[in-house]
Structure 1
Amino acid sequence: MPMTSAPHLLNEDKPEFGRLLDEALRTAHERPELSAVGERLNTEQLRTMALNAGALLTAAASAEYEHYVKVRAESRDGTAAVPFLETDGEAHGAGAGATAVVAVLAPVLAGTAMLIFLLVGYLLKLLDPPPAFADTMLTAGWFFGALTAAAILCAAIGLLLTAVRNSATEVPADREETVSEEIQRAREAWRHALLERGIMPFLQDALADPSADPSSTVPRRPPGRLPRPGYESPGFTSPGSHSGSQRPGFTSPAFTSPDFGGPAERSSEEEGPATDRD
């Protein structure tokens, strides 16, 4: 069952609550305070109740969670800053890649030309008589030799400058280890607080409360280590009334139907009193 009742947790941290709850229920037999698991409430019922009250439980470790999130965010920001610096340097030095290619190829090309000219020049010197351009070939070969040496020197200087620039932007290994250890400590502090101040007290109170209803979306909780969720409706009374006073009684008015009679009945009634008077 996914945990969706802790809105203040980041999505990446919500599964951690479920894993910690499952671990607590799985090792309940090792804790004397949870020895009543399975007698009235089983582990699945307790898990459902805890997930429904997830916002209440995670709020018990809110301070540790805020510190953990802050340390993790600072670490991510610091790591993201290094690629940004490298990209910015590449944007300002668009020709850095071309320069590196030239620095590598120049010594190779110059050295190859040197070998060709010197080889041809010395082979021409072996002829009898040697051609006039043999000395020109040798001169060109030695020129390319000097050019090869200069290219090698420039390439070495370029590699040295590149190494110095990269060392200024890389994150030291010691700092990475320190940041990783700090995040790990903050995470363990949050997990410990969530378990000891949130999950365990909730499970203990749920087992001790005989009126706990596992099917309720917000389980009933006795006053204790965790606040009871929910609100009680205030009592409202009409103005001027008191709780101890009796409700006013009302009686419906008595209505009697008028007597209606025929003409004969009215005549007899009129004669009756006349007879008495006589």
Structure 2
Amino acid sequence: MHMNSAPHLLNEDRADFERILNDVLRKAHDRPDLAAVGERLNSEQLRTMALYATAPIAAAAAAEYEHYTKVREEARSPGPSVSVRAVLEPDPGTAATAGAGLTAVITVLLPVLAGTAAVIFLLVGYLLKALSRPPAFADSLLAVGWFFAAVTAIGLMAAAVGLLITALRNSSTQLPAETPTSGELPDEVARAREAWRHALLERGILPYLRAALADPGADPAASGPAASLKHLPKIGYSRPDFSSPDEGATAGHRPSFTSPDFTSPDFGGPDHRPE
């Protein structure tokens, strides 16, 4: 049993197939082998027939397509060595980032804590000063409260400056992150894709279109699967030849059967014995 396997195009690659097909049909009159487009079969009929025969046409470039999808998958999924290296060899900027994060936390917490202490000491100090006989440490509480108020003001200014510097740093590093090659493929993937597209064009689409135009029995009105697949070599499983018992019997002599002759025994009296 012989089998020819037709590759199943992924959805993301069907756009390339249709793009190549449309480009060929659009420039058909520039190619001598496709100059007959429009005489018996127009571009739309040929396009519909070719789309029905996508799998058989793609089978002509099966090797290139398999290589292309393999290389693309390898490029999309990085190897485990990358993650292991990232764990064993951390980025030198990690320590600096951690230090910057600790500084940011201190810068944010310092005004909050100092402001809370200032409110408490000032409130208690002024309440004690409102008594008829204020204690001697009321002035000390007020001094501590104003000290924490000054620390709060300095901390707020430092936090504002830190936020401004962080925003400027992020804006400067964000531009290169947005401009990487979006839409560009790695060199190996791009070469594999170009090889597949070239093989699909030269060994799949063009031979199919030439065969469809050269077939005088092609019905322009029947641009369905049956009309499209007959221009391509048969792809699938070949049916083994089985012969029925009647065919073998006609080739030779049929065996003949004869029924055995049964004779009934002769029964008689004691005086009559069988001969």
Larger Rg: 1
> Larger RCO: Structure 1 or Structure 2 (Cα < 8 Å, ≥ 6 residues apart)?
2
**TM-score, normalization: structure 2?**
0.50
